[in-house]
């Protein structure tokens, strides 16, 4: 039996699953029994419209609260729409730290780099060993703050020796180790419950609209008594 919408979180992201519970469509049971294909179409359409609504809502909310460009947030959102006989859709949001260079337009100053209202004193904006430009700081700098450079494991003796360890940025290793400025997204984790509840309520509203639409189509095609 369908249990309705829910979410799951992991270290790297959160996955919201949208689906109506059996009780949500009980009022339309007779129509669903008479026209199962039309009811299924209405359900898929409602799910997919709600995923689009939720994607927009999350992008706007996170952008405003975290001072991150919406385009950067949208790149962390991945939609899995309901297709075929599927009765659910999913929206995944990546929660790994995001590169500070992507949250706005970096500007170099005499003291460091600023972007989207954040200041990285002692940092510089350039390409390091190829790739796209990013915001970096030498790990030996007196301005280095671990909170501004998450994923920088400076305690490792292998790191201090210039060797690569695990999945850290390769650019942190070498003669002059550097760390990449990133923004931690862990503070958005508590919002998943609220997002899921609001999305499920929105799903029910759109589901009623879509089922009514299919019902009116069915009645127009039916012979009049």
CB 139 within 8 A of CB 148: no
Tokens of 42: 């209405």
Alpha-carbon span 13 to 150, nearest angstrom: 16
- State pLDDT tens for residues 14-25: 999 999 987 887
Closest CA to 5 of 199, 211, 224: 199
- State pLDDT tens for residues 137-146: 999 999 999 9
Confidence of residue 222 (pLDDT cuts 50, 70, 90): low
Enter the DSSP assignment of 107: E
Confidence of residue 165 (pLDDT cuts 50, 70, 90): very low
109 exposed, middle or buried (CB, 10 Å; 0-12, 13-18, 19+)? exposed
């Amino acid at each position: 039996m369908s249990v309705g919408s829910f979410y799951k979180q992991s270290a790297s992201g959160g996955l919201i699953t949208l689906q109506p519970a059996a009780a949500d469509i009980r009022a339309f049971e007779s129509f669903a029994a008479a026209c199962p294909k039309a009811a299924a179409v209405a359900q898929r359409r409602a799910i997919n419209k709600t995923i689009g609504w939720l994607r927009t809502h999350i992008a706007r909310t996170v952008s405003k609260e975290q001072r991150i460009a919406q385009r950067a947030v949208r790149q962390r959102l991945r939609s899995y729409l309901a297709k075929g006989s599927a009765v659910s859709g999913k929206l995944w949001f990546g929660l790994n730290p995001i590169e500070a260079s992507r949250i706005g337009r970096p500007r170099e100053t005499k003291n460091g780099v600023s972007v989207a209202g954040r200041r990285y004193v002692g940092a510089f904006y350039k390409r390091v060993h190829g790739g796209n430009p990013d915001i970096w700081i030498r790990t030996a700098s007196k301005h280095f703050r671990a909170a501004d450079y998450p994923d920088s494991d400076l305690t490792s003796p292998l790191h201090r020796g210039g060797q690569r360890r695990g999945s850290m940025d390769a650019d942190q290793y070498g003669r002059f180790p550097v760390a990449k400025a990133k923004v931690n997204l862990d503070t958005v984790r508590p919002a998943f419950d609220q997002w899921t509840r609001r999305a499920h309520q929105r799903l029910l509203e759109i589901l009623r609209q879509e089922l009514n639409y299919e019902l009116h189509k069915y009645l127009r095609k039916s012979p009049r008594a």
